[in-house]
Amino acid sequence: MAEKKAQLSVDGIEETIDLPVYEGSTGPDVVDVRSLTSKGIFTYDPGFMSTASCESKITYIDGDKGVLLYRGYPIEQLAEKSDFMECCFLLLNGELPSVDEKAQFIDEIKHHTMVHEQIRPFFNGFPRHAHPMAIMIGAVGALSAFYHNDLQIDNIEHRKAAAVRLIAKIPTLAAMCYKYSIGMPFMHPRNDLSFSENFLYMMFGNPCEEYIPSPVLADAMDKIFLLHADHEQNASTSTVRLAGSTGANPYACISSGITALWGPSHGGANEAVLTMLNEIGDVSRIPEFIDRAKDKEDPFKLMGFGHRVYKNFDPRAHVLRDAANNVLEELGLTNDPLLPIAKELERIALEDEYFIERNLYPNVDFYSGIILKAIGIPTNLFTVIFATGRTPGWVAHWHEMISNPFKIGRPRQLYTGPTFRDYPDK
Ligand code: CMC
């Protein structure tokens, strides 16, 4: 029973409605409005600006303070001391693994990285120039066709198997998208490499010569995966939960998350950043684009700036800004022509009144795009990298929802269309 309560009076309803208020372990209180429907009222919150759609113990964000915690651990500490595999375990299980648990988890992931050979011909149905996100949506959803016998969502073992398969196979599919697009043979995963080294190997290795993944690049990839691993109830995670609330299988649910991630307001922004930097082309043209970003008549936005939740700074962007500098220095790419444009854009945006007033700061995608380009990842694969990193988060949320009592997600609406009318006699 909640101790706090809110009271609501609505014109036309005589009684004052008492609503319970719940406190989380941290963060804003929530008003439980579930009883309102029985009074004939809905709440109205397009874009879910003020709506807590679920209870969760996985990730916490304080947008004003720039805080992001996975299971309580701050992202900066995880980026410095942990790695992606450990964070996957943490997100899925709630606690950091012991040394043995971590080794066992990594071993399990490694032994599920191969995809069924029948997936290979599936690629041939796509044009070579297909957007890799289009292929990922199809290929990840299609995985469900290969695991018919493990799709009972109320069976914990089936759920665990799906979690491991999704985290293990999505990078393999991502690399296959790239190899397919350039007409190179698919590379089978290698179990002697770490998760991120193996990803680089599947991307850039070829059967004719030895490929030794660079530790600097593998480390940068790992950081990118780790920083993207979860972000509480963002659009794609909410999509996964909504799809999951119908009882749909996990592969279908994660495929729906990939679909939502593709949009340029969400994961597609990292690709859009590079497209924008290329379009700007030269530092001298930046003022023109800044003016366009401010113009209400122009739909153009500065890609990689702003965030729905972070209104001070994006802590992931802070970590990646440093990583970006290291990678570029390490690769001797500090004379990349896009870099001065990115730096100047960042400087102007941080000093310009328009951006300051609206709390528009560079977000994670601004820097991840620069790092991924330096590593040699093609621009249209950027959002696939985001999806690979976000998979443990999606799976953890899906698993959390299914492990607890849940209802099908079914929002209501404020209807403003025509009222009842008879079909005209003709
Ligand atoms: N460039 C120029 N103006 C902007 C931008 C931008 N990138 N972002 C927001 N604004 C303005 C917006 O026009 C509005 O101005 P006004 O108050 O005068 O009407 C004000 O700032 C508030 O913006 P909003 O659109 O109401 O904010 P939102 O919370 O609905 O949208 C956002 C957040 C991330 C969708 C938006 O900032 C955006 O489109 N940014 C560019 C795309 C991007 O980088 N997305 C990646 C997000 S981080 C990765 C992830 O987690 O998915």
CA atoms within 13 A on the CB side of 393: 29
Q: How confident is the model at residue 2, as a pLDDT?
A: 62
Q: pLDDT tens across 74-112, in order? A: 999 999 999 999 999 999 999 999 999 999 999 999 999
Residues 376/370, Cβ–Cβ less than 8 Å: no
What amino acid occupies position 114?
M
Distance CA(90)–CA(233), nearest Å, equals: 17
User: For position 148, what pLDDT does the model report?
Assistant: 87
Q: What is the pLDDT of the chain when averaged over all its residues?
A: 94
pLDDT digits (tens, 9 = 90+) for 282-308: 999 999 999 999 999 999 999 999 998
Q: pTM of this prediction?
A: 0.92
- Rounded distance, CA 319 to CA 63, Å? 16
Catalytic positions, please? Answer: 266, 307, 365
Block residue for tokens 């191969």: 114
Take atom 19 of ligand 1 and give the residue whose Cα is closest: 296
Nearest ligand 1 atom to the CA of 231 is 51
pLDDT digits (tens, 9 = 90+) for 51-79: 999 999 999 999 999 999 999 999 999 99
Residue of 355, 360, 390 best suited for mutating to test ligand 1, as the one with most atoms within 8 Å of CB: 360
pLDDT score recorded for residue 377: 94
Q: Whose CA is nearest to atom 30 of ligand 1?
A: 308
Which residues' Cβ are closer than 6 Å to ligand 1? Answer: 231, 234, 265-267, 269, 293, 301-308, 358, 360, 363-365
Instruction: Let me know: does 368 contact 270? Beta carbons within 8 Å.
Output: yes
pLDDT at 346 (0 to 100): 87
pLDDT of residue 238: 98
348-365 pLDDT per residue, tens: 888 999 999 998 988 888
pLDDT digits (tens, 9 = 90+) for 196-211: 999 999 999 999 999 9
Span 364-392, pLDDT tens digits: 888 888 889 889 999 999 999 999 999 99
Burial of residue 400 (CB within 10 Å: 0-12, 13-18, 19+) is buried
Of the pLDDT bands very low, low, confident and very high (cuts 50, 70, 90), residue 1 is: low
Higher confidence at residue 127 or residue 309? 127
Q: What pLDDT, on a 0 to 100 scale, did the predictor assign at position 321?
A: 83
Burial of residue 246, with CB atoms counted within 10 A of its CB: 0-12 exposed, 13-18 middle, 19 or more buried: exposed
Both tokens assigned to 306 = 């702003």
Long-range pairs of 112-115 with CB within 8 A, sequence gap ≥ 24: 112/164, 112/165, 112/168, 112/169, 113/168, 113/169, 113/171, 113/172, 113/189, 113/191, 113/198, 114/169, 114/172, 114/188, 114/189, 115/143, 115/169, 115/172, 115/173, 115/176
Residue 333 has pLDDT above 80, yes or no: no
Calculate how far, in angstroms, residue 279's C-alpha sits from the geometric centre of ligand 1: 19
Q: Which burial class, exposed, middle or buried, applies to 301 when counting CB atoms under 10 A from its CB (0-12, 13-18, 19+)?
A: middle
What 3-state class would DSSP assign to 50? Answer: coil
Say what the pLDDT of residue 370 is.
85
Nearest-atom index, ligand 1, CA of 236: 52
What's the 308 CA to ligand 1 centre distance in angstroms?
7
For residues 271-287, average pLDDT: 92
Hey, whose CA ends up nearest to atom 52 of ligand 1?
266
Instruction: Name the residue at shortest CA distance from atom 16 of ligand 1.
Output: 358
Q: How would residue 143 be classed by pLDDT, with cut points 50, 70 and 90? A: very high
pLDDT at 280 exceeding the cut of 90: yes
Mean pLDDT of 259-274: 91
74 CA to middle of ligand 1, Å? 25
